[in-house]
């Protein structure tokens, strides 16, 4: 009897050794995997080699397997960015990683991705102080380029938070230089110190191809010839030559001619006060043009003073500021404020639909990887304001990690729980 897709992936891990010697110290990296049921698991033990990784995984082998791009003093109990109570983790090192994908999956698009990777590698080696580790075929739509950072000064910064922020900023500057040269890379990967990437030697759970380390000389091969050198399970997809006119592919046991469709997942909250008829809270993401530094803070200070608002809590995802004022405000006033700020889309939504939705989480991709998670940075207070507060949006702030006691506010409106939803977008 022919083995199933899952059985072939399990057989792969039982008969192939995953080599971790490309990592300076595997025990300082975090390992994560996704089960066949879609559950994400983080290793609860340090991983030294293939044997200890298999012991950590146990009986239920993964459909997809990842490793962190950063190494940490303690990678096992690594807190999330928004966890303000845990001790700040100590970053030991961070690999420089470029992810080159051209979607959707096709031989034509893989050829494009290969040529981008080849050109980018030449640019990086000529212009940056790095040591090349390896390139990998991701197992699906593209390639990874991985380098060691030869500048060690920033990894000696005593304050762990400042150290990580310095590394992240240097990576952003590098990413900008790469983008300015016209190289199409995933902008979410390079500067993210909490990123995980596919582990070479693991099987891509959607295509059946192995994520495989390759030599840069293989970029000179055609994609068709290169793929012949890539291991895969028997039920691996047949990659189409080019994108077909329709993506409606009949389901088959061998998953032939599958064209992947990327999605993102996020949590959103409504600005409406549940339990009231015409009351809104004021929350929005600032425009990219405002930045995240002094100019943005000045604009928000002026907003609070001009509109006599109570206070605003500020969160940053590294690119924009999430502003949350948990005050009970008439819908008409919020419409006017948004319009004056130039946020016409939100203003119109509030006029027509009587509320709008705002993202309050990071964004998760199809691989279960979160990025752009909002992190609390400060509160702007207006002590002269006497306001009625939204119970729901005070609760929201506690969910976002602020220790707010609603009993300290004299006047409260609406119900306690905010209206929230999980959103899936193409």
* pLDDT per residue as tens, the chain (426 positions): 456 888 899 899 989 999 999 999 999 999 999 888 778 899 999 999 999 999 999 987 888 999 999 999 999 988 876 667 788 999 999 999 999 999 888 999 999 999 999 999 999 999 999 999 999 999 999 999 999 999 999 999 999 999 999 999 999 999 999 999 999 998 888 999 999 999 999 999 889 999 999 999 999 999 999 999 999 998 888 888 876 544 433 434 444 444 444 567 888 999 999 999 899 999 999 988 888 878 888 889 889 988 889 899 999 888 889 999 999 999 999 999 999 998 998 999 898 888 999 999 888 776 666 777 888 888 888 765 568 999 999 999 988 888 787 777 888 999 999 999 888 776
Contacts of 356 (CB under 8 A, 6+ apart): 270, 271, 346, 349, 350
Query: β-strand 196-198 against 389-390: which pairing, if any?
Result: unpaired
Query: β-strand 357-359 against 212-214: which pairing, if any?
Result: unpaired
| CA atoms lying within 13 Å on the CB side of residue 317 | 21
Q: For residue 411, which phi and psi values (nearest 5 degrees)?
A: -115, 120
Spell 412-425 as b/e; 16+ CB within 10 A means b.
Answer: bbbeeebbeeeeee
Residues 361, 350 contacting (CB under 8 angstroms): no
Q: Residue 48's CB: how many other CB atoms inside 10 A?
A: 12
The closest alpha carbon to 145, from 91, 215, 207, belongs to: 215
3-state DSSP assignment of residue 272: strand
Contacts of 43 (CB under 8 A, 6+ apart): 30, 31, 32, 53, 56, 57, 76
Q: At what angle do helices 160-180 and 107-127 cross, to 10 degrees?
A: 110
Handedness of CA 189, 194, 200, 205 (dihedral sign): negative
Q: Residue 119's CB: how many other CB atoms inside 10 A?
A: 15
Query: pTM for the full model?
Result: 0.63
Summarize the chain as % helix, strand, coil (round to 5). Answer: 30, 25, 45
State the DSSP string of 124-151: HHHHS-EEEEEEEE-SSSEEEEEEEE--
Q: Residue 67's CB: how many other CB atoms inside 10 A?
A: 27
Domains of the chain: 5-260 (3.90.920.10), 265-425 (no CATH)
């Amino acid at each position: 009897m022919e083995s199933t897709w899952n059985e072939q992936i399990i057989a792969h891990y039982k008969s192939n050794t995953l080599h971790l010697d490309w990592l300076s110290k595997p025990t300082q990296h975090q390992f994560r995997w996704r089960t066949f049921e879609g559950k994400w698991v983080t290793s609860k033990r340090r991983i030294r080699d293939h044997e200890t990784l298999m012991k950590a995984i146990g009986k239920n082998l993964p459909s997809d397997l990842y490793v962190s791009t950063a190494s940490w003093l303690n990678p096992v109990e690594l807190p999330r960015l928004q966890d303000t109570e845990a001790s700040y983790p100590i970053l030991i090192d961070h690999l420089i990683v470029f992810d080159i994908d051209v979607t959707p999956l096709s031989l034509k698009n893989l050829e494009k991705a290969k040529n981008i990777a080849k050109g980018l590698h030449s640019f990086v080696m000529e212009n940056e102080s790095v040591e090349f580790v390896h390139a990998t075929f991701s197992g699906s739509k593209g390639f990874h380029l991985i380098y060691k950072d030869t500048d060690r000064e920033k990894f000696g910064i005593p304050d762990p938070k400042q150290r990580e922020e310095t590394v992240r900023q240097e990576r952003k500057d590098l990413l900008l230089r790469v983008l300015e040269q016209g190289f199409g890379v995933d902008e979410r990967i390079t500067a993210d110190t909490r990123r995980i990437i596919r582990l070479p030697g693991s099987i891509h759970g959607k295509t059946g191809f192995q994520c495989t380390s390759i030599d840069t000389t293989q970029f000179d091969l055609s994609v068709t010839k290169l793929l012949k050198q890539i291991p895969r399970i028997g039920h691996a997809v047949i990659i189409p030559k080019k994108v077909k006119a329709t993506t409606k592919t009949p389901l088959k046991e061998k998953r032939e001619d599958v064209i992947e469709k990327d999605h993102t997942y996020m949590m959103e909250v409504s600005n409406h006060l549940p339990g009231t008829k015409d009351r809104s809270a004021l929350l929005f993401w600032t425009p990219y043009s405002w930045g995240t530094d002094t100019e943005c803070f000045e604009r928000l200070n002026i907003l609070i003073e001009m509109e006599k608002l109570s206070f605003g809590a500020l969160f940053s995802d590294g690119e924009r500021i999430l502003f949350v004022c948990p005050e009970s405000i008439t819908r008409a006033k919020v419409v006017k404020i948004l319009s004056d700020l130039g946020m016409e889309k939100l203003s119109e939504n509030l006029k027509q639909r009587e509320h709008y939705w705002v993202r309050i989480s990071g964004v998760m991709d199809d691989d279960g990887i979160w990025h752009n998670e909002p992190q609390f940075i400060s509160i702007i207070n207006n002590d002269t304001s006497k306001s009625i507060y939204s119970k729901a949006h005070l609760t929201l702030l506690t969910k976002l990690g602020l220790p707010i006691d609603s009993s300290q506010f004299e006047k409260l409106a609406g119900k306690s729980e905010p209206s929230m939803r999980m959103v899936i977008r193409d």
